[in-house]
Copies of this chain bind each other. A is one copy, B any other.
Amino acid sequence: MRILIVEDDAVLGDGLSVGLRLSGFSPELVDSCADARHAIGMEGFEAVVLDLMLPDGSGLELLRELRQRGSDMPVLMLTARDGLDDRVTGLDAGADDYLGKPFELPELSARLRALTRRAQGRAENLLHWNGLALDTAKMSGQRGAEEIAFSRREFTVLAALMERPGSILSKAALEERLYGWQEDVESNTVEVHVHHLRAKLGSGFIQTVRGAGYRLAPEGAA
């Protein structure tokens, strides 16, 4: 689960990175508004941990900007311990949650998990491709009248592919999606899951690009 951390204090930032990675997230650390804007533009993050005091501007500005662009990405604000005003303005600006410093890592990760869970509920949950509708809330797909069930790993792989239809995802990328931070598992699990998916979706649905990875077949193909 990719998390963007926007924090200019190097020590705290590193601590957060390490801690969250240990808790099963895949954090990315930036230390300025500019970098944050850039990173958010790249997409792929499921939540943002946002410090208010940044060298090149206030985190609040960034937040407002984000919301004005219509993003509903979950944002957790880090505020000074007694910055009550900050909290109110933060919520006002569209933060989903806040945490006063100093804080405990377990609490942060718990809240992050809660945030991402909640975000899932409100997001539009349907991905479409080539006649298949994938419902991420139900972890199942539908093609015509036929309902197709997936196991968790199968679903994870398929969802990753359908989020970027047509683009090639390397096996390493898919592995990271399956296992997150952890070391690369030495085996061919991805291939096996793709195999199972093809059994359910038809052998043409997922194409393999030799030496590069997998992608969804162009629409119109079987």
Contacts and interface: CB of A to CB of B under 8 A. Distances in A.
Interface in A14-34: 14-15, 18-19, 22
Contacts of A152: 209-212
A172 interface: yes
Given A14-B88, A88-B15, A110-B184, A117 B170 contact: yes
Contacts of A151: 210-211
Interface of A: 11, 14-15, 18-19, 22, 84, 87-88, 91-92, 94, 96-97, 104-106, 110-111, 113-114, 117-118, 121-122, 137-139, 151-152, 164, 166-168, 170, 172-173, 176, 181-184, 209-212, 215
Given A110-B182, A151-B210, 17 more contacts: A11-B84, A14-B84, A14-B88, A15-B87, A15-B88, A18-B91, A19-B91, A91-B105, A97-B104, A104-B114, A117-B173, A117-B176, A121-B167, A137-B164, A138-B166, A151-B211, A152-B210
11 contacts: A97-B104, A110-B182, A113-B172, A114-B181, A121-B167, A137-B166, A139-B209, A139-B212, A151-B210, A152-B211, A152-B212
Nearest to A163: B121
Contacts of A137: 164, 166-168
Given A121-B164, A164-B137, A94 B170 contact: no
Contacts of A113: 172
